[in-house]
Structure 1
Amino acid sequence: MTTNWNSLHDKVTHHLQTIYANVSLEKSVAELATELIESMGLANDHDIVEPKHHCNYWDEQDVMMITYGDSIMHGHEKPLFTLHRFLQTYCKNTINKVHLLPFYPYSSDDGFSVIDYSSVNEALGEWTDIRRLADDYGLMFDLVVNHCSARSAWFENFIKGEGPGSDFFFTASPDDDLSQVTRPRVSPLLRETPTQHGTKYVWCTFSHDQVDFDFSNPKVLLAFMQIIRLYIDKGAKVFRLDAVAFLWKIVGTTCINLPQTHEVIRLMRTLIEHVDPGIIIITETNIPNRENLTYFGNANEAHAIYNFSLPPLLVNTLVTGDCRYLKSWMMGMPPAQNGTTYFNFIASHDGIGLRPAEGLLDDEEISTLVHTMQNYGGKISWRASAHGQQKPYEINITLFDALQGTVDGPDRWQVQRFICAHAIMLGMEGMPGIYIHSLLGTSNDYEKVANTGQNRSINRKRWEYDELERLLDSPYSQHHRVLTQMSQLIRIRKAQPAFHPNATQFTLQLGNQLFGYWRQSLDRNQSIFCVSNISNEEQSVLMSDINLIGTDHWVDLISGETIEDDSGYLHLTPYQTVWISNHHHQ
């Protein structure tokens, strides 16, 4: 073995010493390091790629679509094949990355209760369908790392007390003090399970069908590194570490964001980047903002973190017509250092999480938001707080329906308000992720909620391809209007260097009805002033307040109109956005 291998071995050993400092292991950490490196296919020096540090493996061209494998169905065709056809037909020049939500065999939670990590759910297709998608799009795979299905072979072996998986699960005693454990659900934490070795109490952070792994057993870590290597071989370019904040548990603590969890992510990062430095890790940590930011580490943990505070703050801004909370949050967000970026989204397969708004919106503001969303057909998921009272955890509603009006009720600005939300997101620092149902302007699916009994189903419609095609090709449908306008915004965004995820961002102070920020390209050649009227009345802004430099030639990239900087005022219609730039890139 030579320098590269030895230096990687030293790094991995160091991670393992930190992770397992208080765990007695059967093997030495040096042996374990060797096993992990080999499980990633890095047996020799020539397999190992040296990563560059603080390198941005993304730019303004990157726009990700979030979707289930079966969001669009067509007769007996494999849904993954249908999805590829949809993308090639309707998203060719807009979307270049796809977050494929879990496409493995599963037993509940729409895929997040994985039965078998190494195969494709037959109802969706097979590995060749994944490969076809990976040939044309950068694919994000879910690594459901905290728990698996209670119907998995691993858990069946746990019950039998023998075979792979028999020692993979975290157990505790009902007598343990678990009062501090942070929970996203109201179900009991421990699941009483009869096994060959007597009754065990299995830890279930989410549901009793989702049994939590015990990462203090290095075999679990090894199994996951083998899964990661498989996914890389099958075309994964981005890994989403699902619910990773809960990964390490110590009885008597909160069991969230523990130091060992951060070190496991750093270890995964080290191993993955020596296989391919261009593979991106995104942590899915639906927690208050300050804690979320820690997952960047020192550009040695996640490359990207979900900007979880954005959805509730932006929806709140647009339904109240007041951007003060969004503005103060944005001013407090540190710029992501090179090699890291924010992953921005305003709708996803889950609802609008409210925990990330805690400390940013007060209780009264949250209560008004919840009430408004209920008026628009939204459902609310609850959690128990430390004092046992019920607190809203998540709003379940499609973004299109969430923006059908204001706190005063529905109005005629639904499409404009919806497009405004995306214009704000698309211009912001970070990489944008757009849920397929936002691209399609999908409304609440009450029928699916009735069929599944799950609130989240409201935003998980399955479209029939023929019906969708008819609606998208009809100029009068909301779906056609939304897709056309969204596609235009995305195409404009992708051509602007000032919209690079790491380009400079500065929040503008334009009062509470106008939300604005300034972006400047990394080479400083392009400036864009992004200003949105977030109210349902016309607003005017004094050109001198935006501070356009008189010698430059300014144009609004969205309307194509030239901006005369000495004209005094810029007038914006309700929910209009302008992207005023000194360099016109098309």
Structure 2
Amino acid sequence: MMEELRFRVISHLAVLYPEQSEKTRNILADTLIQAMGIEDTVTSLAQYENHWDQHDVYVITYGDTFLAPGQKPLSGLHQFLIKHLMGTINSVHILPFFPYSSDDGFSVIDYMAVNKALGEWRDINLIANDFKLMADVVINHCSAESRWFKNYLKGREPGLGYFVEASPSDDLSHVVRPRTSPLLKKVITKEGEKHIWCTFSHDQVDLNFANPKVLLEFVKIIKGYLDNGIAVFRLDAVAFIWKVVGSTSLNLPETHEIVRLLRTLIEARKSDAVIITETNIPNRENLSYFGNANEAHVVYNFSLPPLLINTLVTGSSHYLKNWLMSMPPAQMGTTYFNFIASHDGIGLRPAEGLLSDEEIKLLMDTMITHGGEVSWRALDSGENKPYEVNISLFDALKGTVNGKDQWQIERFVCAHAVMLALEGIPAIYIHSLLATGNDYEGVKRTGHKRSINRYQWDYTELERALNSPESRHHLVFNRLKKLIDIRVKQPAFHPNAIQYTLHLGDEVFAFWRQSLRRDQSVFSINNITDQPQVIPLTAVNLVGTDEWVDLITGERYQDLHGTLVLAPYQSVWLTNMIGG
């Protein structure tokens, strides 16, 4: 298998660096294999294997979401996870926990150090011992305060040739990016004035993967993460990593080849490791990162948040159903990463082509009335277009397009019942789990719109809220935990189980899941309006020889010619077999 591995790596390198000699590529392949820590034996080169099942549910959190006097935040996070989520959630995504200079961790100064304000590698190791751990590989850019960039300015290694240079006279008009700041940053180097490519901000300088030394650096970084118990790798902003002047510099063939190469190396080192691509782009382009089941194991389902939120505030599942019907079933060995809220915002680009411009504007305006802010991106024409809405999910669902109402918690829980039942691996942002509202003080303090959904809890205050039966935090937290506890026992909720969309009217969003062994069916039926809905059970196509029960309430349905009456925003999971 070592020879096959070497052949695959050389083949990837031939696509990336065709100008290099065969001898040089062979040497580079051996260097990469050694840097990944792959010895004489390769664990596996097998593809199409599912490294997940229905038990996998993620919580997404910053390392410093919980603050307590005299305790490092990562230690407090571990304490919270053990006390409140052990046995319910088995996987954790800790957002960048490295030393950084801006963007709440995504402008990394040192990829191989833990931010001392958060803790140390031992804290990461302890969490990785108890939970499946996902970490970010911030692969497109690093901090302008990093050693690499400082060396670049001084003409030293490592760093020389690590960054993308361009000229203001180059044709950069087609470059796609999610920001309105100038693309190029003028710097003074040992060789004189240069202009550096900065996709996201001038503190986040883009790395030059056309230089094999940069690729080698990241292979070493990933090897270090594997050594520390991390087995799930989120490739942040990966769609932007290869640049070609005159092109969009987005989703280029070389970008896909790098993902394939990293997968080859990572799987050879650890057969059950997982790559997740973070590509906040239109749906079709996003799905391309599956490749032929040889790129990302998992892709973020970026279209789900705007479509599901739109469904719940308009009371129509029309667009959500159309999207779900068009989504291809993931091949074995791949699956979707489902989420509704994240540390960023509700991405609007993934809704392009799925919602009309008028529908996107209505959604955006509704979110603004719920206290949200809008972030913008620059177009070729020089105009700006909305990129994302910054708002906490709990406040996003405080009402509908008609205004605020009394159904906020029911609507919020309904959103998660839908997400937990869909094909793919579900992930819940910590502030959704805790029903945290908009953090206006955070926005005021940082000056950044995304801070609205990055509240830091005082640990004692949080415990008090979770222990108070009347608080929304207690109510939501326990209802979501109950749904998760039910979900993880059902074979029909395996991330790769069969899924079909049902047509029960636009006021209802429904779909059918069937286990891989085809012995369990679950019908997820959700009232997405503020009015009761009555559904004839004959429309659901329940098998007459089976007995049917709602997993959520325990109610049994014996008369299959009867009706299903759903209260506003009620979800039912009708099954013929209760998982044990």
Correspondence 1:32 to 2:32: no
Is contact 2:140-2:240 (8 Å) kept?
yes
Is contact 2:375-2:389 (8 Å) kept?
yes
Match of 2:221 among 218, 224, 227: 227
Aligned to 1:45: 40
Deviation, 1:277, is: 1.1
Is contact 2:144-2:150 (8 Å) kept?
yes
Mapped partners of 2:193, 2:22: distance in 1: 25
Count of aligned pairs between the two proteins: 580
1:194-213 correspondence to structure 2 within 5 Å: 194-213=188-207
Correspondence 1:528 to 2:519: no
Aligned to 2:346: 352
Aligned to 2:496: 502
Aligned to 1:175: 169
Match of 1:15 among 6, 12, 25: 12
Correspondence 1:130 to 2:124: yes
Deviation, 1:52, is: 2.2
For structure 2, list consecutive stretches of 5 or more residues without a partner in the other structure: none
Match of 1:151 among 145, 158, 166: 145
Correspondence 1:369 to 2:363: yes
Residue-by-residue CA offset, 1:295-315 (whole Å, 9 max, x unaligned): 001111000000000000000
SS at match of 1:507: strand
Is contact 2:234-2:275 (8 Å) kept?
yes
For structure 1, list consecutive stretches of 5 or more residues without a partner in the other structure: none
Correspondence 1:556 to 2:553: no
Deviation, 1:569, is: 1.3
SS at match of 1:290: helix
1:25-174 correspondence to structure 2 within 5 Å: 28-42=24-38, 44-46=39-41, 48-174=42-168
Residue-by-residue CA offset, 1:216-272 (whole Å, 9 max, x unaligned): 100000000000000000011100000000010011110000000000010000000
Deviation, 1:94, is: 1.3
Residue-by-residue CA offset, 1:495-523 (whole Å, 9 max, x unaligned): 00000000000000011000000000000
Quick one: which amino acid aligns to residue 489 of structure 2?
A
Is contact 2:219-2:262 (8 Å) kept?
yes
Mapped partners of 1:460, 1:27: distance in 2: 50
Mapped partners of 2:559, 2:379: distance in 1: 52
Mapped partners of 2:190, 2:505: distance in 1: 66
SS at match of 1:381: strand
Aligned to 2:320: 326
Quick one: which amino acid aligns to residue 32 of structure 1?
L
Residue-by-residue CA offset, 1:90-114 (whole Å, 9 max, x unaligned): 1112110000100000000000000
Deviation, 1:25, is: 6.8
Correspondence 1:343 to 2:301: no
Quick one: which amino acid aligns to residue 258 of structure 2?
V
Match of 1:378 among 372, 384, 395: 372
Is contact 2:15-2:254 (8 Å) kept?
yes
Is contact 1:382-1:392 (8 Å) kept?
yes
TM norm structure 2: 0.99
The CA RMSD over aligned residues, in Å, is: 1.0
Aligned to 1:473: 467
Mapped partners of 1:232, 1:81: distance in 2: 21
Is contact 1:548-1:565 (8 Å) kept?
no
Residue-by-residue CA offset, 1:426-477 (whole Å, 9 max, x unaligned): 0000000100001000000000000000000000000000000000000000
Correspondence 1:5 to 2:6: no
Mapped partners of 1:511, 1:116: distance in 2: 53
TM norm structure 1: 0.98
Aligned to 2:568: 574
Aligned to 1:490: 484
SS at match of 1:429: coil
Deviation, 1:24, is: 4.6
